[in-house]
Amino acid sequence: MNRLDVKKTYKLYIGGKFPRSESGRYLAAKSPAGQHLDNFAHASRKDFRDAVVAARVAVEGWGKASAYNRGQILYRAAEMLQNRAGELVNEIARSTGVTSVKAKREVTLAIDRLVHFAGWTDKYQQVFGSVNPVASSHFDFTTPEPTGVAVVLAPDEPALLALVSLVAPVVLSGNTAIVVASEKFPLPAATFAEILATSDLPGGVVNLLTGKRAELVPHIASHMDVNAIVDGAGDRELAAKLQAGVAINLKRYFNRAAADWFSARAEEPYRILDTVEFKTAWHPIGV
């Protein structure tokens, strides 16, 4: 008997939950051959604002968690990613048209990269902090601290590996993130959000929006409660709009497009510095 194939409708991931888009809009995800795969939510301005609220609420608890605990949680997320590796390989292959061999390589690297950055949670402050010599009887310390809420724009390819490579160095220091997934290949990112929801990552630390970047960028650029933007989308027109916005409200902006996501350069610890602030403390000697 012939039956109608039931297409999955992926929702947004905000505050540890999966709400439908406030707009009620959905888009069809299609394969390179034009085959209708599944549906995904078309995020609106209200959805973005809800994600910022969730990320801001989560900052305090996530930032105060010990570095060791944050590393454990990110490592657990890598474990969950590995448990669903087969599903992600299939998702990437059918979404992007790459072979299963290439899709498996991407998923494997994404797992390894998440483990790699999980290991930096309790090391980056020692590596990038310093004790400064001063011409007075003081101890002078400079330490990197999280900047707050960051928006991450993921590129279209590789849909999963690039997203993991951009998000992990943002959240490991105690920041929270709002991720705008690939517009062309959103399904691997949506599946990754489901994986995060079953890990130990607190709700609101990573929030995922799908839809059209061009509709969200003006709101990202103008929102006063976003502290930083990590732009991996590679769209010059949207990058110009983001930079024009941050010039007014003084967000931090970093362009991380055109990276070789499959090379070791994509896991450089210097990426952590994009979303941390260096703060210096003076303490009198002998007190």
Structural domain spans, the chain: 9-284
Residue 204 half-sphere exposure toward CB, CA atoms < 13 A: 17
**CA pair distance 11, 8, nearest whole angstrom:** 10
Q: Which amino acid is at 119?
A: G
* Contact predicate 200/62, CB 8 Å: no
Alpha helices in the chain (DSSP H): 45-64, 67-83, 85-96, 100-118, 124-128, 161-171, 187-197, 213-222, 236-249
Find, among 196, 207, 171, 225, the residue nearest to 61 by Cα: 171
Helices 187-197 and 85-96 pack at an angle, to 10 degrees, of 160
Task: Give, for all 287 residues of the chain, the pLDDT tens digit.
Answer: 677 778 899 999 999 999 999 989 999 999 999 999 999 999 999 999 999 999 999 999 999 999 999 999 999 999 999 999 999 999 999 999 999 999 999 999 999 999 999 999 999 999 999 888 888 888 888 899 999 999 999 999 999 999 999 999 999 999 999 999 999 999 999 999 999 999 999 999 999 999 999 999 999 999 999 999 999 998 999 999 999 988 888 889 999 987 789 999 999 999 999 999 999 888 888 75
Encoded tokens for 182 = 């690939």
Residue carrying structure tokens 């051959």: 33
Its pTM surpasses 0.85:
yes
The CATH homologous superfamily to which domain 9-284 belongs is Aldehyde Dehydrogenase; Chain A, domain 1 (3.40.605.10)
Other Cβ atoms closer than 10 A to 34: 6
Q: Which amino acid is at 53?
A: V
Torsion of CA 91, 95, 100, 104, to 10 degrees: -50
Encoded tokens for 128 = 């990038």
Cis peptide bond N-terminal to 158, omega within 30? yes
DSSP 165-177: HHHHHHHTTT-EE
- State whether the Cα torsion 266-221-55-207 is positive or negative: negative
